[in-house]
A and B are shown apart, each in its own frame.
Chain A
């Protein structure tokens, strides 16, 4: 094409163009070749006009000033950047798959057991929490009803051998104490129930935190590349 590079310069230029083409994958064919041709022209003009004596130094000056392939294409095609990011992830997943396939059966079983254990533990904790809530609420109501009955008809419960509250021996005082304690239990139950969702959210937030950080950092890097 009329450019009179020496072999070593040509090699450096071709290496750069190859990296540029890699970045352009996913674009329409005509756009790709057009941009590559344009950059070829730029490199040539810049090379011819660079004042340096040594031609290797010259070509590196030229490419330095031009910038990395990512900079040459960025902003024109932010979509491609995302696609490239996606494509890169795939081989990693396949690799992990192969590794698990080869060595994974014993390790994998352990992993599954561990995962299962974690899930069961979390589920049990959640279950316990809600059982506590409901028993507090139900117990509170039952206690209140029992206490009220105890005040107005102490004999009624005695008939069935049910002792609601027996601290002072005085049925009326015991009744009011019972109502108070039951009320506290019921309210506590409701509060815990309402808090449950927030506790869960906080818990998942804590679990997600490290992953979120990684994701954020990766996004920022993409944005930086795209905005240069």
Chain B
């Protein structure tokens, strides 16, 4: 079961990364903060780097090193045009899937909110990573 949860999370994580970068560019650590926010989602933070690497290879994101006011330089990521289109498509598809799961599972006690997943790209403004 643990494994299933991890797999599900990984798939959604990629979408969340794209969603977060859709609005503004991030470096690794700020991206994690922007995705997890104050929510209690356990992610092994290191896993975003392989995903970012793959997205860069697919030319969905581009990256750029920038000096930081303190500490070592940061590698900033932002979406390419291709990445923006990809996110819009994926996001629409994901919303459909979430609705599908919501309709079909009909959990007995509490009704799942069908549009829960669509909020995933809404970034918490409080974490601007500085």
Contact = CB atoms under 8 A, between A and B. Distances in A.
Contact of A38 (B49, B70, B71): B49
B40 to A, nearest CB: 14
A49 B30 CA distance: 11
Contacts of B23: none
A117 B45 CA distance: 57
**Chief secondary structure at chain A's binding surface:** helix
A76 to B, nearest CB: 4
Interface stretch (B50-58, B89-97, B101-109): B50-58
B72 A1 contact: yes
B54 A76 contact: yes
Contacts of B47: 67, 71-72, 74-75, 228
Nearest to B49: A72
A187 interface: no
Interface residues of B, number: 25
Interface string A55-71: 00000000001111101
A66 B50 contact: no
A65 B49 contact: no
A37 interface: yes
A41 B51 contact: no
Nearest to B27: A41
B111 to A, nearest CB: 33
Interface of B: 6-7, 10, 27-30, 44-47, 49-51, 53-54, 65, 68, 70-75, 129
Given A2-B68, A46-B29, A69-B46, 15 more contacts: A1-B71, A35-B53, A38-B28, A40-B72, A42-B49, A44-B72, A45-B28, A45-B30, A65-B45, A67-B45, A67-B47, A71-B47, A74-B50, A75-B50, A228-B47
